[in-house]
Chains A and B, each alone.
Chain A
Amino acid sequence: MDVLNTLKRMSIRQIAQQALNFCLIVSSALMIWKGLSVVTNSESPIVVVLSESMEPAFQRGDLLFLTLGREPISVGEICVFKIEGKDVPIVHRVIELHNDAKTGEQFILTKGDNNPVDDRGLYQPGQMWIKREHVIGRVKGFLPYLGIVTIILNDYPQVKIAMLVLLGIMVLVNREE
């Protein structure tokens, strides 16, 4: 009710101003994300670790910062890659690599530090290698714990909706004096 009263008291000009502010916040967030994408050459420069397969290096809920770069991938690097037909990207380490001399095509085999065996069981049936085009980025840094927020938001969609509504109201109602 409080919210409605405040909205009622605002003139059309003020409401328009607030809506503009709201759009500005959304679009600048989008611009930062896309800008990061361009700088790092990676389609998603920040990812959240969802599994325990890279323990003790990365735990569930860690934020990872990725770049892709142009130079070829080498063994020992931790890569984030997507398997065709699966939408969740995987963060694992490269343990085997064969570089084609003519085309530069890379045949890559990965394994999670905490897994007993390599990833051929995770690839598509019969797929022996992943290629450069499956790789989204290489891990360059990490920030622990923060990603747990996105895990909670994804596991409980109600929380996500509640938070979005709350944020929207706050932005619309909060007037700059």
Chain B
Amino acid sequence: MYNLQQRANAVFAFFITVLFSVLAAVALSGYTQLALLPEDATSSSLAVRSVHLKQGRLGYYYDRNKPTTELGYVHFGMNADLTRLFNWNTKQLFIYVVAEYTTPKHDKNQIVIWDDIIQTKEDAQIQFRKKEPEYVASDLSGKLK
């Protein structure tokens, strides 16, 4: 009544069903664990230590005719404890420091000045007194002040 192909088909279909049910449960557990965390589970504080300005050009195609732009280097200090964001289903935390400001012409400007990938709970405590920025800040107008 049942030949080999039909049996193999049934076993495979069952395997796929189980696999995807487990995957769905895993995904759901990750979300719920994050959602159940209290508001004050993580703490962080940030302070700007110094801002240096330079003149230069952005991009990698050197063009002498392009006007120079003001480039801002923001050194900052940071304290953060993100250990509680790690549960058994956490792959990585991507943390980034954003400089956000508004100008009359542009109502929302966001510039990431530093980022990091954290993969273990042990690395999730961050303490910098003065950290160099990874990315230079600049505005579309070419002026930062």
Contacts and interface: CB of A to CB of B under 8 A. Distances in A.
Which of B58, B60, B104, B117: most chain A Cβ within 10 A? B60
Nearest to B58: A128
B91 A57 contact: yes
A100 interface: yes
Contacts of A101: 104-107
Given A100-B106, A118-B135, A56 B112 contact: no
Interface string B73-112: 0000000000000000001101010100000111111111
A74 B112 CA distance: 11
Contacts of A167: none
Contact of B110 (A74, A100, A143): A74
A126 B105 contact: no
Given A75-B110, A95-B135, A99-B107, A125 B91 contact: no
Interface in A73-94: 74-76, 93
Nearest to A174: B5
Contacts of A72: 108
A76 B93 CA distance: 12
Q: Which 6 A-B pairs have the closest CB atoms?
A: A99-B108, A75-B110, A101-B107, A95-B112, A97-B110, A121-B60
Interface of B: 23, 27, 58-61, 63, 91-92, 94, 96, 98, 104-112, 115, 117, 119, 135, 139-140
19 contacts: A56-B91, A56-B117, A57-B117, A75-B110, A75-B112, A76-B96, A76-B98, A93-B94, A95-B96, A95-B111, A97-B110, A98-B106, A100-B106, A101-B107, A113-B115, A117-B60, A120-B58, A125-B61, A141-B27
